Structure 1
Amino acid sequence: MTNLSSLPAIMLEPLVRAALLEDLGRAGDLTTDAIVAKDHHATTVLAARKAGTVAGLDLAALAFRMIDKDVDMTVHCADGSKVAQGEVIASVTGPARAILTGERTALNFLCHLSGIATATASVVDAVRGHSARIVCTRKTTPGLRAVEKYAVRAGGGSNHRFGLDDAILIKDNHIAIAGGIRPAIERVRRSVGHLVKIEVEVDTLAQLDQALAFAPDAVLLDNMSVEQLRQAVAMVAGRAVTEASGSITLATAPDIAATGVDLISIGWLTHSAPILDIGLDYREADRPV
């Protein structure tokens, strides 16, 4: 995928460090240290067991290099690339102990994030031809939000809020406690700065009509039917960003995109996407990578 910016190493290092420490425990890699000589160098490859979209190579490389700076990882298919079953994604060479010790941590990140990128790409492909963008939500693994949202971008999707502090999203419980859409929006406008965007969640067309009277920047159309979404887009008529949300699947996404909504938000991209199976394979010295 073009124009995919890598995350700074300073954001990735704490995640990888914590994962390695969890694996190394109190005594290090007992198995590898017993079997593999200190001076043994190895050539290995990261290969896709199934077709998919790659994400997480920077974390994988860090996992190896934090064990030993002499491990070298050469990337053949960058993050955002679609790979075929059996395709070599990267080659990893250097001290064999470090490669084997870092293997599981590297693969945990790489398989998980590639799974998110693959799931995202499947939905992006399903709605191709329509203007709707596929976006993720805050339904992320605690501690991994930044990299999971990065993986969504690697799959061709876009990001919703990163947290509670970067935009206003007035949901049903906010409306209930405030006593309605109007007082909720009015309180928000008195509280936040002029650069903070406001989105309002609505469940019905009647609620949408109420919300539009107060000119929100976006409206979240929650669990509406395809016909309701079509009517909602017509009602909004470009006055706000329209976002469809709620139990959206790969099968239903194309019909939802055809209604003309601007965004389709999907929580399972991050909270339930299956991994992309990727393995680390040892190569003999005379066998080409």
Structure 2
Amino acid sequence: MTENSVIAPVAARAVGLDLALPAAPVREILERAFAEDAPAGDITSQLLIPADARATAVLNARVPGVFSGATVFRDAMQLVDPGTTVELLLADGERFDAGTHLARVTGRARSVLLAERVALNLVQRMSAIATRTAEFVQLAEGTRARITDTRKTTPGLRILERFAVRCGGGANHRYSLSDAVLAKDNHLAVMTGGDPARLTELLLAAKAQLGHTTHFEVEVDRMDQIEPVLAAGVDTIMLDNFTPEELRQGVALVAGRARVEASGNVNLSTVAGIAATGVDVISVGALTHTVAALDLGLDVELTAG
């Protein structure tokens, strides 16, 4: 996103999405982060800052965007020092302009400085993901397509990054390999042993072993795979790296017999054309795997205690 990007207001709250994070995994992430960043405390602040000095700090937006990680920022500050006061001035999922104050922190200066980098790292990344997601969602507006993330997340941070996608108005794909069946090209290659004529038979046999609540999705990369996959009664068919014209043909061929997902070559230049083909879902790895941290800063004023 450039500094002059215009982002429409995010509709996440309007459609009733649950913008809440479970406390336990967030605390675990923060504890690991602080163990990495300050395993024996902050020796710089201990050397330079009086123990009784207090600080007021403002989380300031230097570019426009969509906020995500408000409570993570607060929890990071208060995990270091429960006595730190954090006033959240915007909620998760809200749009902001450059110069907006997002939160205000007051507490012991040493505590604020120790927590600063971990808190900023997380809220900058989460807000970048929310902002990027909002751009994709805006470009798909007026179509039936839902923008979703993928499993291309930072190891250990998936719960935060998936939350940020929701803050940007997007939706989440399966959370992990344990949640749903998604047979991709390598699965099909091993399954069929190079004999595509057996595809329907093998998928039917696999589906018969599933519980009725488990979602079954299959990826295809050629038009001639669509009918054999549909014949197995899958829930979703993923059309991978299809051109927009091929996607239109694929949607017509599926004709409502399964949900249609588009994947591959999805970026801000292509997503509107993909959405216009009539697909139900567009999965976008770029929501999480290539974002750059949003430029947010913590501006601190110190006052001797």
Whole-angstrom distance in 1 between the partners of 2:288 and 2:178: 20
With 161-170 and 33-42 compared, the bigger mean Cα shift is at 33-42
Shift of 1:166: 0.8
Q: 1:98 to 1:221 in 2, by over 3 A?
A: same
Shift of 1:233: 0.8
Whole-angstrom distance in 2 between the partners of 1:50 and 1:184: 52
Equivalent pairs, count: 284
Shift of 1:146: 1.1
Partner residue in 2 for 1:218: 236
Whole-angstrom distance in 2 between the partners of 1:6 and 1:99: 24
With 59-68 and 13-22 compared, the bigger mean Cα shift is at 59-68
Structure 2 alignment gaps of length 5 or more? 1-11
The one-letter code of the counterpart of 1:76 is L
Whole-angstrom distance in 1 between the partners of 2:25 and 2:37: 20
Percent sequence identity over aligned pairs: 44
The one-letter code of the counterpart of 1:56 is G
With 131-140 and 187-196 compared, the bigger mean Cα shift is at 187-196
Query: Structure 1 length normalisation: TM-score?
Result: 0.95
Structure 1 alignment gaps of length 5 or more? none
What does 1:140-219 correspond to in 2, within 5 Å? 140-179=153-192, 180=196, 181-219=199-237
Partner residue in 2 for 1:36: 49
Whole-angstrom distance in 2 between the partners of 1:188 and 1:71: 54
Shift of 1:183: 3.8
Whole-angstrom distance in 2 between the partners of 1:218 and 1:205: 15
After superposition, what is the alpha-carbon deviation per residue over 1:211-267, rounded to whole angstroms, capped at 9, x for unaligned? 111221000000000000001111111111110000211010001000010010011
Q: Secondary structure at the match of 2:36?
A: helix
Whole-angstrom distance in 1 between the partners of 2:263 and 2:82: 45
2:293 to 275, 278, 282: 275
Checking the alignment, whether the CA contact within 8 Å between 1:174 and 1:184 is kept in structure 2 is no
The one-letter code of the counterpart of 1:187 is A
1:120 paired to 2:138: no
Shift of 1:16: 0.4
Shift of 1:130: 1.1
1:22 to 14, 17, 36: 36
Partner residue in 2 for 1:6: 20
Whole-angstrom distance in 1 between the partners of 2:205 and 2:62: 52
Checking the alignment, whether the CA contact within 8 Å between 1:170 and 1:184 is kept in structure 2 is no
Runs of 4+ in 1 over 6 A off after TM superposition: none
Q: Secondary structure at the match of 1:47?
A: strand
